[in-house]
């Protein structure tokens, strides 16, 4: 590590593993090793005062045990530990966030390595990923912060119709009107007024949202070029506009990534009631077979199997692929599956592992004949980041660019687009530090970029099941890509639009953008005007399997035979067990899944708090009545806990906003921490400003 000139308030510890080893070539490795050493020594990136330490000496039991410290689990553990009377244990299968993961450009540095990635591959597909033997790679993070530590950070909420569909089909209380406040709760948008509207965004939450400090010129030119397609650009796909191309807002601040661990866990790193254990793989939820009540969680740490007791609830936030696997290992799931593996049936729930859904796309490669493939990362751009947190390292290249459009198969009304575009290129992931003299540009290869249209409302459904009873074995993951022809039909439309976009005047004349010569050479019908069969062949060969898996612990009422959790995310038939992550989504949202997953975690944590926190009076209506239950004391008060959690502070403020909010917002807390000020609590001033909106016609 090369320490910064300024002195950090706390000693810096180098948190790995190294990312430099993911770059090939001796000169590249040397440069990247030096650059990484600089990164590891920066106070703002290392954040040494707020890192969480793995706890060795655990209590026999905890009020709440959260399994998985990923995108959702970090939110849940952070929120629950705000109550100093509750003991919270977070079991994380991986380690802490590596310091280099904070650099936006190194977005894929921790993919495809067994110390930070589960290395999951699907079962061989008949119609997808054929260029890779039919096995599709699904990067899933195995470290604190989960996929919020390795994803593209894009902030997309989906559309109102997504959540209204959930509510209509049995997920009572999850309509857009009811989930919108929970998106606002976590958001701290830095561009309200300049880029996005205050009608749809909020400040004061733990997760900063804004555009990256750097985007390639090509990204802005592509947004402009979309006008030629009759698709006006937009600043905000989470606002008035549901279609258009834009440089998206992302979870970042100060030129660095903001994971949910950074937003929700690090502010509470000094809480004595929050314990975290790294490299602890949960292997089973212990349930009393007579009472059907959770009594503990079994986990594996350093090769030893241990059990920790649960006083109130165990919460599975292990993700769409690991939460159902853990339920099955615990005897909760389809009877025939459990009997096949000689697992005693604790609760028969046929829906566990079923309803697996994922977005799917096709990778289209283009060459910029007028653009040399000059290095993006060199000493100059490296120093730009080191000194000012700006330049190519402060962004994700073209990955921050996106667009949404309606195909002819989209739902009527145009309010719910069915195609999303992702882009790839101009990445500053690796380099040897050298800059190329412009006089030598002609000798360089031409730059290539990828456009990936994605079908947002797939009809194909897959499943997940056990491979064995060994919790370290990956589950069987069968997505059934293109099982329904609908996705292929949508992608065919999306690919044709992508080719038209590449052939717009701006991109053609300025960059010489053409289909990459030789790409898809095994597919007949290529060229500047490819045939339908060529595009279908590309989708089967070069599938974009995406990383938006949902649905394996579907939320629904008790009379839904495939529902695993109820609308309060409690596992049907089991006391003291919830699933709070993307697995509970009944259907995919229209867009990226990170923000919806955080919303679910905020909502799920509030259900738990409402269930167990003692308070003096209930609100007259609103979320508390809809989801509240009989209050039970969480322990003695000892003067440390303000149980009047429905206090609204200044009465005038509440009265002025009476028409904006339904009375009774369960996140409106007034914790009493005594005389000592707390620096780990997030602002709740947003509640005074925002109305739960009516639906604009464009959403």
Residue bearing the bigger pLDDT, 680 or 21: 21
H or E segment at 579? Answer: strand 577-579
What is the structure's pLDDT at 295?
98
Helix axes 160-168, 176-186, angle to 10 degrees: 130
Q: Which residues of 366-389 are buried (b: 16+ CB within 10 A; e: fewer)?
A: bbbeebbeebbbbbebbebbbeeb
Alpha carbons 364 and 64: distance in angstroms, whole number: 47
pLDDT of residue 3: 64
* Model pLDDT, residue 669: 36
Contact (CB, 8 A) for 338 and 329: no
Residue 625 has pLDDT above 60, yes or no: no
Mean pLDDT throughout 499-524?
96
Report helix, strand or coil for 362.
strand
Tell me the average pLDDT across 508-513: 98
Can you read off the two tokens belonging to residue 6? 């300024």
pLDDT exceeding 70 applies to what percent of the chain?
A: 87
Q: What is the pLDDT of residue 443?
A: 81
> Which residues does residue 281 pair with via DSSP β-bridges, in sequence order?
300
CA distance 655 to 378: 57
Read off the pLDDT of residues 78-119 as tens digits, 9 standing for 90 and up.
999 999 999 999 999 999 999 999 999 999 999 999 999 999
Q: What is the mean pLDDT of residues 411-430?
A: 94
Strand arrangement, sheet containing 207-210:
187-189, 207-210, 250-253, 256-257
* Number of neighbours of residue 653 by Cβ within 10 angstroms: 13
CB atoms within 10 A of CB 680: 18
The three-state (H, E, C) secondary structure of 442-493, written as one string:
HHCCEEEEEEEEEECCCCCCEEEECCCCCCCCCCEEECCCCCCHHHHHHHHH
Contact, 116 vs 99, CB < 8 A? no
Check pLDDT > 50 for residue 169: yes
pLDDT at 25: 87
**C-beta of residue 316 within 8 angstroms of C-beta of residue 285:** yes
Query: What is the structure's pLDDT at 457?
Result: 97
CB neighbour class for 408 (10 Å; exposed up to 12, middle 13-18, buried from 19): exposed
pTM of the model: 0.89
Q: Is the pLDDT of residue 309 over 70?
A: yes
Average pLDDT of every residue of the chain:
89
Q: Span 368-387, mean pLDDT? A: 95
677 has a pLDDT exceeding 60: no
Q: Tell me what pLDDT residue 415 has.
A: 80
Q: How would residue 529 be classed by pLDDT, with cut points 50, 70 and 90? A: confident
Q: Decide if 234 contacts 246 (C-beta within 8 A).
A: yes
Q: Strands 61-67 and 88-91, how do they pair?
A: parallel
Using the 8-state DSSP alphabet, how is residue 261 labeled?
Answer: I
Return the domain boundaries, the chain.
58-113+142-208+251-358+549-699
- Residues marked active site are found at 548
| Segment 601-617, tens digit of pLDDT | 999 999 999 999 854 34
Residue-level pLDDT at 1? 63
Q: Does domain 58-113+142-208+251-358+549-699 have CATH number 3.30.43.10?
A: no
SS (H, E, C) 56-100: CCCCCEEEEEEECCCCCHHHHHHHHCCCCCCCEEEECCCECCCHH
Pick from 204, 71, 85, 59: which is nearest to 609 by CA?
A: 85
What residues contact residue 503 under an 8 Å CB cut-off, 6+ apart?
Answer: 513, 528
Model confidence pLDDT, tens digit, residues 170-217: 999 999 999 999 999 999 999 999 999 999 999 999 999 999 999 999
Mean pLDDT of 543-564: 97
The number of residues making up the chain comes to 699
The two most distant CA atoms of the chain are separated, in Å, by: 79
Q: 320-348, pLDDT tens digit by residue?
A: 999 999 999 999 999 999 999 999 999 99
3-state secondary structure of 293: strand
What six digits make up the tokens of 377?
A: 């990362």
532-541 helix and 485-502 helix, angle to the nearest 10 degrees: 110
pLDDT at 667: 36
What would the pLDDT profile of 259-301 be if each residue is shown by its tens digit? 999 999 999 999 999 999 999 999 999 999 999 999 999 999 9
Please tell me which residue, 632 or 474, carries the higher pLDDT value.
Answer: 474
Residues 6+ apart with CB under 8 A from 14: 1, 40, 99
Record the tokens describing residue 435, joined without a space: 């800059």
Query: Do residues 154 and 404 lie in contact, with contact meaning Cβ atoms separated by under 8 Å?
Result: no
In the beta sheet, which residues pair with residue 288? 293
Q: Is 3 exposed, middle or buried (0-12, 13-18, 19+ CB in 10 A)?
A: middle
* Distance, CA of 528 to CA of 523 (rounded, Å): 14
| pLDDT beyond 80 at 478 | yes
| Digit-coded pLDDT (tens) for 36-47 | 999 999 999 999
What pLDDT does 379 receive?
Answer: 94
């Amino acid at each position: 590590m090369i320490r910064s000139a300024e002195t950090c308030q706390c000693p810096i510890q180098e948190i790995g593993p190294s990312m430099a080893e993911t770059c090939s070539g001796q000169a590249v490795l040397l440069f990247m090793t030096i650059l990484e050493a600089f990164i590891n020594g920066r106070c703002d990136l290392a954040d040494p005062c707020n890192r969480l330490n793995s706890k060795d000496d655990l209590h026999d039991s905890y009020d709440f045990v959260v399994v998985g410290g990923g995108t959702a689990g970090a939110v849940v553990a952070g929120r629950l530990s705000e109550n100093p009377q509750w003991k919270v244990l977070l079991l994380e299968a991986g380690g802490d966030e590596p310091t280099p993961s904070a650099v936006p450009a190194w977005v894929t540095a921790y993919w495809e390595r067994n110390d930070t990635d589960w290395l999951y591959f699907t079962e061989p597909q008949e119609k997808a990923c054929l260029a890779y033997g039919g096995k599709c790679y699904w990067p899933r993070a195995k470290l604190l912060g989960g996929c919020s530590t390795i994803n593209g950070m894009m902030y997309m909420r989906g559309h109102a119709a997504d959540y209204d569909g959930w509510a209509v089909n049995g997920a009572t209380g999850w309509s857009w009107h009811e989930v919108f406040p929970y998106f606002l709760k976590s958001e701290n948008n830095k561009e309200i007024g300049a880029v996005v509207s205050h009608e749809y965004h909020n400040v004061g939450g733990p997760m900063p949202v804004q555009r990256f400090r750097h985007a390639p010129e090509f990204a802005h030119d592509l947004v402009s070029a979309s006008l030629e397609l009759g698709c006006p650009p937009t600043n905000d796909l989470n606002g008035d506009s549901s279609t258009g191309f834009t440089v998206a807002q992302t979870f970042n601040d100060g030129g660095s990534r903001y994971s949910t661990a950074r937003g929700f866990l690090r502010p509470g790193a000094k809480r004595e009631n929050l314990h975290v254990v790294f490299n602890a793989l949960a292997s089973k939820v212990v349930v009393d077979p007579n009472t059907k009540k959770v009594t503990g969680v079994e986990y594996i740490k350093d090769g030893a199997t241990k059990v920790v007791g649960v006083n109130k609830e165990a919460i599975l936030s292990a993700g769409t692929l690991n939460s159902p696997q853990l339920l099955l290992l615990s005897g909760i799931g389809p009877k025939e599956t459990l009997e096949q593996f000689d697992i005693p049936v604790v609760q028969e729930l046929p829906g566990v592992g079923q309803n697996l859904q994922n977005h799917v796309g096709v990778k289209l490669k283009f060459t910029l004949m007028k653009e040399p493939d000059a290095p993006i990362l060199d000493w100059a751009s490296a120093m730009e980041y080191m000194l000012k947190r700006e330049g190519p390292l402060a962004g994700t290249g073209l990955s921050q660019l996106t667009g949404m459009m309606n195909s002819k198969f989209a739902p009527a009304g145009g309010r719910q687009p069915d195609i999303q575009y992702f882009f790839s290129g101009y990445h500053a992931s690796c380099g040897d530090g050298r800059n190329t003299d412009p006089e030598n540009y002609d000798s360089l290869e031409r730059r290539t970029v990828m456009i990936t249209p994605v079908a947002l409302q797939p009809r194909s459904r897959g499943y997940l099941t056990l491979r064995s009873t060994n919790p370290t074995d990956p589950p069987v993951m069968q997505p059934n890509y293109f099982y329904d022809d609908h996705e292929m039909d949508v992608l065919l439309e999306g690919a044709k639009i992508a080719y038209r976009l590449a052939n717009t005047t701006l991109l053609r004349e300025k960059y010489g953008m053409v289909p990459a010569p030789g790409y898809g050479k095994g597919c007949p019908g290529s060229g500047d005007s490819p045939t339908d069969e060529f595009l279908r062949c590309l989708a089967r060969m070069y599938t974009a399997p995406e990383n938006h898996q949902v649905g394996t612990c579907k939320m629904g009422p008790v009379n839904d035979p495939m529902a695993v959790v109820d609308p309060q995310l409690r596992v049907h038939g089991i006391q003291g067990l919830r699933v709070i992550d993307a697995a509970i989504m009944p259907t995919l949202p229209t867009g990226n899944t990170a923000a919806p997953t955080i919303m679910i975690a905020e909502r799920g944590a509030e259900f738990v708090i409402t269930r167990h926190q003692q308070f003096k009076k209930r609100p007259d209506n609103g979320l508390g009545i809809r989801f509240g239950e009989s209050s039970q004391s969480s322990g003695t008060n000892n003067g440390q806990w303000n149980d009047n959690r429905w206090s609204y502070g200044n009465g005038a403020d509440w009265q002025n906003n009476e028409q904006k909010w339904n009375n009774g917002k369960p996140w409106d807390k007034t914790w009493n921490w005594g005389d000592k000020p707390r620096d780990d609590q997030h602002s709740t001033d947003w509640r005074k400003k925002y109305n739960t909106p009516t639906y604009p016609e464009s959403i």
